[in-house]
């Protein structure tokens, strides 16, 4: 657990860790919380930054568009050697999402995947509902993401270099969500962002971090 750490310093530390690692370097999992920061992915468009104001914007080399990090959000950074783990990037992403879904389930919330849009979403009208989403990933799914009735509770953005991963996933626990209104979250205009407290689940950052870290360790195992 690294706790509250500046985003830029953490980003630089991840890069340094990854560039210095060898085939013998043990994998790591950093659990963090960041001061208010907007981060842009490699393909990030400035047009998705609507009104950043006083919140700093950091350009990164992860995938995806713009997102927000702030207090009350658990950010998990798995630093893994995928070659040693024995699975590819697509499965790695699926496993991270599954860990988040299992973490939410621990707190009585059902997380969902949406076709064409990485991350985890919840039903706004019934966060505990297990009903299957029509917009879930499946063979005949519409490639254009459909967020009708959903709120995004976890965002995912990764980087893989020399088979080694960094960046990761952010789970919204109990935070000021208003900065999300100053961007198009993950590049989607009007996408609603929620946290656990908004949908009636009250818990501490540490409680959420403890459960998410254990689920990640379980589901990212070789």
- First CA to last CA distance, the chain: 22
> Residue 9: which of 42, 32, 25 has the closest Cα?
32
Q: In angstroms, rounded to a whole number, what is the distance separating the alpha carbons of residues 150 and 214?
A: 26
Q: State how beta strands 28-33 and 3-4 pair.
A: parallel
How buried is residue 178: exposed, middle or buried, by Cβ count under 10 Å (0-12/13-18/19+)? exposed
State CA 145 to chain mean position distance: 17
Per the CB < 8 A criterion, the answer to whether 185 and 152 are in contact is yes
Point out the catalytic residue in the list 32, 103, 164, 186.
Answer: 186
- Does residue 103 carry a catalytic annotation? no
Tokens 């009903």 map to which residue? Answer: 131
Residues with a catalytic annotation lie at 186
């Amino acid at each position: 657990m690294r706790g509250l750490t500046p985003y830029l310093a953490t980003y630089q530390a991840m890069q340094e860790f990854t560039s210095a690692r060898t085939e013998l370097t043990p994998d790591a999992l950093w659990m963090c919380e960041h001061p208010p920061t907007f981060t842009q992915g490699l393909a990030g468009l400035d047009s998705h930054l609507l009104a950043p104001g006083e919140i700093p914007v950091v350009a990164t080399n992860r995938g995806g568009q713009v997102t927000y990090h702030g207090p009350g959000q658990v950010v998990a950074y798995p630093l893994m050697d995928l070659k040693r783990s024995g699975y590819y990037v697509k499965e790695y992403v699926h496993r991270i999402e599954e860990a988040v879904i299992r973490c939410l389930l621990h707190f009585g919330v059902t997380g969902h995947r949406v076709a064409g849009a990485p991350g985890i979403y919840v039903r706004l009208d019934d966060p505990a509902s297990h009903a299957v989403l029509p917009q879930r990933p499946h063979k005949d799914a519409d490639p254009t993401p459909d967020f009708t009735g959903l709120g995004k509770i976890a965002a995912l953005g990764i980087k893989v270099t020399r088979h080694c991963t960094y960046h990761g996933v952010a789970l919204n626990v109990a935070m000021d969500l208003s900065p999300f209104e100053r961007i198009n979250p993950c590049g989607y205009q009007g996408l609603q962002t929620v946290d656990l407290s908004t949908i009636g689940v009250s818990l501490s950052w540490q409680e959420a971090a403890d459960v998410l870290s254990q689920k990640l360790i379980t589901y990212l195992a070789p």
